[in-house]
Structures are given as C-alpha cells and as structure tokens.
C-alpha cells in the first residue's frame, strides 16, 4: 500500500502498516505465497498515539510523517514485542525523542532486552485507560496469545479493537484492506493457516481472551496482520471460538510419509475407504508429508475432524517428515480428532509403534484397524487400509466429544 489509509474516516484513525512481499518464510518456517502485511495504526487526537510498529521501517516512518506532518508522536503502544511489530521501536524513539512507550509489566523487561530502552516507558495495568483527547484507549492483556506480554488496545471512542496477532492472517494487502473489500475465501484460508501455525498451541489462552474481551462493545477488529474487519467482526470472533475449541468440520486429512510409494498406495486406499460407504466423507485431503506445504497440512488438519497418518519405517523410527509433523501436532495440543494409523516396514518395524506413541501423547484413541504392512502391500493389506478409511468415516459421523 503506497500511502497511509484513514480506516475510520473523520475519526483520526489511520492504517500506517506495510506489505512484505520479500520474506518467503514467516518465522523461518511458514511459507508466504501471498506475502504478509504488518498492520500498524496511528491515532490522532489532542495527542498522537501509534499502535504497534512493523518489521523493517522505512515506508512505515514515511506514512507516519505523511499523517503527522510536523506534529510529534506522543505515544507508542506496544501490544506485542515480537520483532514483526516492535522491530522499529528504537528507531522511532530516535525520530521522536519525547515518545512515551506504553506496555504492561511483561513488556517492560522485553523493551530493555530487545532495545535497551528503560526511560520514557509507562507500565499500564490490565484495563487501565489513557485519554489522548478524541480517543479513550483501554489496554487488556491477553497472555499467551501468543506471547506472555501480548495485549490488545481498545479505542472506546470508536469501538475499535486493535487486536495485534489475534485474528491476524497471512497475505499482503492487494488494494483492499477490509473484509468488505475482499471475498471471504481470500482471507479465511490465510487466517486459518496463521492460526494453525502460530496460535494453535495457545487455544486455551484464546478461549480465556475471548471471554475476557466479550464485555467490550466491539464494532471493528483491526489486527496486526491481514484483513481488517469492519463489516462482520462477529464472524472472526466465531471462527476463533471454533478453532480454539478444536470444533472441526466433518472432513478428513490423510498424510503419508513414503520413499518408494508403498505407503502412498496404502494412503490412497484409506482415501477410497473414507470416500465410500454409508458415512462417506466428501472433503478428503491427501498430503505427502515430504512435499505438501507444511503450513497448509496443519491448516487442513485444524479444520478437519478426521486424521489418518501413515508412515514407512526409517532407521527404526518414523519417517523424518512424519516425525516432525507429529511433533508439531503434539506441541499444538491437537485433540478432538478421529484418528487412524498405519505403518509399513521391511525389517524391524517401528513406524506404527511410533505413531501409537504420538496418539498416546495427544491422548487420542486410534480407531480400528491399525494397519501394519510388510514390504509391498498385498491386495488384502490395501483392503484393510480401505477399512481403516471407512472406520474413520464412521467415527466422524458418530463423533460426539
């Protein structure tokens, strides 16, 4: 976006964020095929207050100046210290020497640690207010969504929640900033992918945050990444509620790890079993653990009730891409899934046993049959894989918990 955008016309509320189309991996891990936006905001009243900064700088500072002209920036609210939002705090302090930084008790030591800043920092308590003349701001901590110091800022005057990473999504802006300027499918998938990769582990904290923020009369939700919500903020609150309760849809994801294709054939038989029979699943997604985009695999898993994992054995253990997927899922505290497992081997075995350990770790009971195949799957083995798919389909249709 080439200039600052007034996101609440006539109400002194500006978007001064930046698009990033160069970073190809967010956190060095997650693909950004459509880039990412760092949304930062500027409130102009009797005093001026910036909410969050960006990764990088340059263009951001030019946008601030474009709105502020010769006025000083009085406050910077630091909702979150991760460098994608607090990257230019030190530079901003140099540009506006009288700038007062606002954070909570957990922000203060991080400001010192990351930027060596101790002076001119005001520590706000949960719920505390700041009147900048024309905007009354209140600050609400949302611990572990997704860092300890994470906080949101609510503009009580305009009903705008500056929600930081909460409700954020991947994808740079392509002209439109708002939910009514882009089709839902353009932002929802990217928001789910952000949730599954960044926020999922902290779903319990998300539930606590939703309860806590439920008392505010929110008219707009302006997050620190992706689309801004002014048409239907309730929709994204309900999506976050569902994802954080792990209230998945009825689809199924099948992920396989295979070197020579035998385990892939087993996975295809599982998919066939899922797609046929009395409780057939219409939305089946098959992923190769080695090749499918990991963030998309996680997003699909987060949205689906059924999950079937199949792995060949590799040096007595799980095939490495499957091992890393299981590690991430366990770290994300996956639950409320209908799980199916299958392994292949030709000497000692080990993959199926390792998948069962994963199931134990996430406290899920795998449905019968668990399939273990020696060398190339026989026709009977493939039928058992199809039976596994049908059992998962049955489990999805009967799912209550």
Ligand X SMILES: Cc1cc2nc3c(=O)[nH]c(=O)nc-3n(C[C@H](O)[C@H](O)[C@H](O)COP(=O)(O)O)c2cc1C
Nearer to Fe ion, 83 or 159 (CB): 83
As a whole number of angstroms, the distance between CA 173 and CA 35 comes to 9
As a whole number of angstroms, the distance between CA 260 and CA 273 comes to 22
Residue 378 binding target from ligand X, Fe ion, none, CB below 5 to 8 Å by type = none
Q: How far is the CB of 315 from ligand X (least distance, A)?
A: 5
Q: Out of 344, 355, 359, 367, which residue is the one contacting ligand X (CB under 6 A)?
A: 344
Nearer to ligand X, 126 or 383 (CB): 383
Q: Out of 56, 148, 159, 349, which residue is the one contacting ligand X (CB under 6 A)?
A: 349
According to the binding rule CB under 6 A, does residue 345 interact with ligand X?
yes
Nearer to Fe ion, 84 or 372 (CB): 84
Q: How far is the CB of 142 from Fe ion (least distance, A)?
A: 12
Site string for Fe ion, 146-165 (x = CB under 5 A): -------------------x
According to the binding rule CB under 5 A, does residue 20 interact with Fe ion?
no
Q: How far is the CB of 362 from Fe ion (least distance, A)?
A: 24
As a whole number of angstroms, the distance between CA 22 and CA 105 comes to 34
According to the binding rule CB under 6 A, does residue 346 interact with ligand X?
yes
Three-class SS state of 324: helix
Nearer to ligand X, 25 or 259 (CB): 259
Three-class SS state of 130: strand
CB atoms within 10 A of CB 379: 8
Residue 82 binding target from Fe ion, ligand X, none, CB below 5 to 8 Å by type = Fe ion
Pair 265, 377: CB distance under 8 Å: yes
Give the CB-side neighbour count of residue 26, counting CA atoms within 13 A. Answer: 26
Q: How far is the CB of 328 from Fe ion (least distance, A)?
A: 17
According to the binding rule CB under 6 A, does residue 355 interact with ligand X?
no
Q: How far is the CB of 354 from ligand X (least distance, A)?
A: 11
Residue 350 binding target from Fe ion, ligand X, none, CB below 5 to 8 Å by type = ligand X
According to the binding rule CB under 6 A, does residue 314 interact with ligand X?
yes
Listing DSSP states for 262-285 in one string gives HHHHHHHHHHHHHHSSTT--S-EE
Q: Left (φ > 0), alpha (ψ -120 to 50) or beta: where does 19 sit?
A: beta
Q: Which of residues 224-263 bind ligand X (CB under 6 A)?
A: 258-263
According to the binding rule CB under 5 A, does residue 82 interact with Fe ion?
yes
Q: How far is the CB of 141 from ligand X (least distance, A)?
A: 48
Q: How far is the CB of 370 from ligand X (least distance, A)?
A: 16
**Beta-bridge partners for 160:** 155, 220
According to the binding rule CB under 6 A, does residue 302 interact with ligand X?
no
Binding residue count for ligand X, defined by CB under 6 A: 19
Residue 165 binding target from ligand X, Fe ion, none, CB below 5 to 8 Å by type = Fe ion
Q: How far is the CB of 255 from ligand X (least distance, A)?
A: 13
Q: How far is the CB of 54 from Fe ion (least distance, A)?
A: 10
Three-class SS state of 147: coil
| Options 62-70, 76-84, 272-280, 286-294: segment touching Fe ion (CB under 5 A) | 76-84
Distances (CA, A) of 77 to 83, 101, 102, 224, 253: 14, 6, 5, 13, 41
According to the binding rule CB under 5 A, does residue 190 interact with Fe ion?
no
As a whole number of angstroms, the distance between CA 277 and CA 283 comes to 14
Q: Under 8 Å CB-to-CB from 15, ≥6 apart: which residues?
A: 1, 4, 5, 6, 7, 39, 40, 41, 177, 222, 228
Q: Which of residues 357-376 bind ligand X (CB under 6 A)?
A: 375
Listing DSSP states for 30-74 in one string gives EE-TT-EEE--EEEESSSEEEE---SS-THHHHHHHHHHTTPPP-
Structural tokens at position 321: 């891409």
The DSSP bridge pattern shows strands 160-164 and 249-257 to be unpaired
Contacts with ligand X, residue ranges (CB under 6 A) = 258-263, 312-316, 344-350, 375
């Amino acid at each position: 976006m080439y200039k600052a955008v007034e996101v609440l016309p006539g109400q002194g509320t500006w978007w001064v964020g930046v698009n990033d189309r160069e970073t190809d991996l967010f956190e060095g891990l997650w693909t950004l095929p459509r880039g990412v936006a760092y949304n930062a905001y500027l409130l102009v009243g009797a005093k001026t207050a910036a909410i969050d900064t960006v990764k990088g700088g340059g263009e951001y500072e030019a946008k601030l100046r474009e709105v502020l002209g010769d006025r000083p920036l009085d406050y910077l609210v630091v909702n979150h210290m991760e460098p994608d939002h607090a990257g230019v705090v030190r530079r901003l302090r140099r540009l506006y020497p009288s700038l007062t930084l606002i954070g909570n008790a957990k922000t203060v030591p991080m400001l010192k640690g990351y930027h060596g800043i101790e002076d001119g920092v005001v520590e706000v308590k949960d719920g505390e207010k700041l009147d900048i003349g024309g905007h009354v701001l209140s600050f609400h901590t949302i611990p572990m969504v997704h860092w300890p110091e994470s906080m949101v800022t609510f503009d009580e005057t305009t009903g705008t929640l500056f929600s930081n990473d909460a409700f954020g999504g991947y994808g740079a802006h392509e002209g439109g900033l708002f939910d009514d300027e882009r089709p839902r499918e353009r932002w929802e998938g990217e928001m789910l992918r952000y949730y599954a990769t960044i926020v999922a582990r902290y779903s319990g904290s998300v539930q606590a945050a939703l309860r806590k923020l439920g008392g505010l009369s929110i008219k707009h939700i302006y997050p620190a990444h992706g689309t801004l919500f002014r048409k239907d903020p309730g929709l994204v609150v309900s999506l976050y509620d569902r994802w954080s309760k792990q209230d998945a849809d009825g689809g199924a994801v099948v992920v396989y790890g295979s070197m020579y294709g035998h385990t892939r054939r087993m996975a295809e038989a599982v998919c066939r079993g899922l797609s046929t029979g009395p409780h057939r699943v219409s939305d089946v997604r098959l992923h190769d653990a080695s090749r499918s985009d990991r963030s998309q695999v996680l997003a699909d898993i987060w949205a689906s009730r059924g999950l079937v994992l199949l792995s060949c054995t590799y040096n007595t253990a799980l095939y490495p891409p499957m091992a890393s997927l299981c590690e991430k899922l366990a770290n994300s505290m996956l639950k409320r899934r209908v799980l199916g497992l299958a392994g292949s081997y030709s000497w000692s075995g080990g993959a199926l046993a390792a998948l069962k350990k994963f199931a134990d770790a996430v406290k899920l009971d795998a449905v019968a049959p668990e399939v273990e195949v020696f060398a190339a799957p026989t026709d009977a083995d493939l039928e058992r894989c199809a039976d596994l798919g049908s059992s998962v389909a049955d489990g999805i249709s009967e799912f209550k918990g």
